Structure 1
């Protein structure tokens, strides 16, 4: 049996949907069962309730599980959450953990500089030291994070971010889900790291142009300062630690300035990479402000 944790989140739910689409049974771990109605409606999906921080809640979820896709929400408890879960998985006899992490597409980005990214590096060291067979998935920025900018895009026709001429290479979560499915259902991935980006390095002016074309209305990029954007995030209800972490992240991206494209993992698993133009057309109603969307969990 394969278990996917964090199954109510964006990458987790996308991977669960990919299993359902392929007709492959999968178990989905959620912390809040009230939010799992859509997952329960999918064929072949066994939704279980548990908290990765509390091993006593995981016994039934881990029973009979051979492989796990380990995902949990970013935040101050990320390190403790995933290390606790690794211990529980070892105790339950799980044979392989596929850790979902991240790798910024910006050249020279150092994950050890920032708390959220540094936590992933610390978890990986813990996982390797545990002796558990492991695989690491390292996608770049999700295309879906641009949903966060919908209020400005739909309200004023502006994409406001503190990035200047920096390029990003965002990836579609559905591409990640296809790759995750392949890693979880085929042998030979132990000890391997799979980085992945989208197929293009784009400026925010490029991103705004693709959104504009998709929705049929002008959208322009307006460069703002990190402090201005931090205040906007706070006004939108972001917790202060999250708003501060985002501001630091964007400052570093702006300082470094250039992203590289890496499609080796797409090619390895035969996944056709989704362009941002295709993504924007698929979610045109979201970018118009006409359809609800899920915000990134705090």
Structure 2
């Protein structure tokens, strides 16, 4: 059996849906039963409840599991949550952990400089030291984070970000899910890190042009300061710690300025990369403000 944690979040739910699409059974761990949504109706999906921070709640989830895809919220408790979970998985006799991490597409980005990325590096060191076979998935920024710009797109026709001419190479979560499915259901991926980006390094001006084409409405990129954007995030209800972390991240991206596309993992697993324009067209109703979307967890 394969277990996917964080199964009601963006990447976790996408992986669970890919298992259902492929007709492969999967177990989905959620902490809050009220947030399962339609996952319980998908064929082959077994929902289990438990808290990664509390090993005593995880016995049903881990029983008979061979591999785990470890995903948890990116908040302040990520380090403690995932290290505690690694211990529980090892004690349960699971064969392998596949850790969902991240790798910024920006050239020269130092993950140790920022809390939001440093925690992942600390977890990786703990995972390696645990002695368990491991695999790491390291996607770049999700294309889905642009859903959070929908209020500005609808209200002012602007994509407002503090990036200047910086390029980013975002990846569609569905691409990651297809790769994760193959990693979790085939052998030979132990002690391997799979980095991945989307197929294009885009300026935000280019991203705005693609959004315009997809939704049939003019969208312009507006370069704002990180302080302005941080205020806007907080006004939108972001917790202060998250707004501050995002501001620091965008400042570093703006300072470094250039992204490199890496499609080696896509080629390795024969997954056709989704372009930003394709993604925008597939989600045109969301970008027009006509359908709901999920915001990044705190």
TM-score, length of structure 2 as denominator length: 1.00
Distance 1:155 1:283 in 2: 18
Within a 5 Å distance, the mapping from 1:125-136 to structure 2 comes to: 125-136=125-136
**1:206 aligned residue:** 206
Unmatched runs of 5 consecutive residues or more in structure 2: none
Work out whether 1:36 is the aligned partner of 2:36.
yes
Match of residue 287 from structure 2: 287
Q: CA deviation at 1:180?
A: 0.1
- The equivalences for 1:154-233 within 5 A come to 154-233=154-233
Cα deviation, residue 215, structure 1? 0.5
**Residues 206-228 of structure 1: CA distance to partner in whole angstroms, max 9, x if unpaired?**
10000000000000000000000
- Residues 170-192 of structure 1 show CA distances to partners (whole Å, capped at 9, x for unaligned) of 00000000000000000000000
- For the aligned residue pairs, the C-alpha RMSD in angstroms reads 0.4
The separation in 1 between residues aligned to 2:129 and 2:69, in whole angstroms, is 18
Q: After superposition, where does 1:77-116 map in structure 2 within 5 Å?
A: 77-116=77-116
Secondary structure at the aligned position of 1:102 is classed as coil
1:266-286 deviations in Å (ceiling 9; x for gaps): 000000000000000000000
Helix, strand or coil at the partner of 1:74: coil
Deviations 1:219-241 (A, max 9, x none): 00000000000000000000000
Matches within 5 A, 1:194-273: 194-273=194-273
Which segments of 5 or more consecutive residues in structure 1 lack a partner in the other structure?
A: none
Which SS does the other structure have where 1:209 is aligned?
Answer: helix
For residues 39-54 of structure 1, what are the structure 2 equivalents within 5 Å? 39-54=39-54
Aligned-residue offset at 1:37: 2.8
Structure 1 CA distance for aligned equivalents of residues 276 and 3 of structure 2:
30
- Measured after TM superposition, the shift of residue 138 of structure 1 is 0.1
Distance 1:124 1:35 in 2: 28
For residues 196 and 96 of structure 2, the distance between their equivalents in structure 1, rounded to whole angstroms, comes to: 21
In the alignment, the residues of structure 2 paired with residue 37 and residue 86 of structure 1 have an alpha-carbon distance, to the nearest angstrom, of 27
> For 1:84 and 1:118, how far apart are their aligned partners in 2?
17
SS in 1 for 2:46: strand
What secondary structure sits across from 1:160 in the alignment?
strand
Structure 2 Cα separation of the partners of residues 288 and 116 of structure 1: 30
1:68 matches 2:71: no
Secondary structure at the aligned position of 2:168 is classed as coil
2: distance between equivalents of 1:80 and 1:142? 24
Shift of 1:55: 0.4
Paired residues, what number?
Answer: 298
Q: String of CA shifts for 1:32-63, please: whole Å, max 9, x gaps.
A: 11111310010000000000000000011000
In structure 1, what is the Cα distance between the partners aligned to 2:267 and 2:12?
A: 22
3-state SS of paired residue (2:194): strand
Q: In the alignment, is residue 146 of structure 1 matched against residue 146 of structure 2? A: yes
Distance (whole Å) between structure 1 residues aligned to residue 125 and residue 52 of structure 2:
19
Residue 261 of structure 2: SS of its match in structure 1?
Answer: coil
TM-score normalized with structure 1 length? 1.00
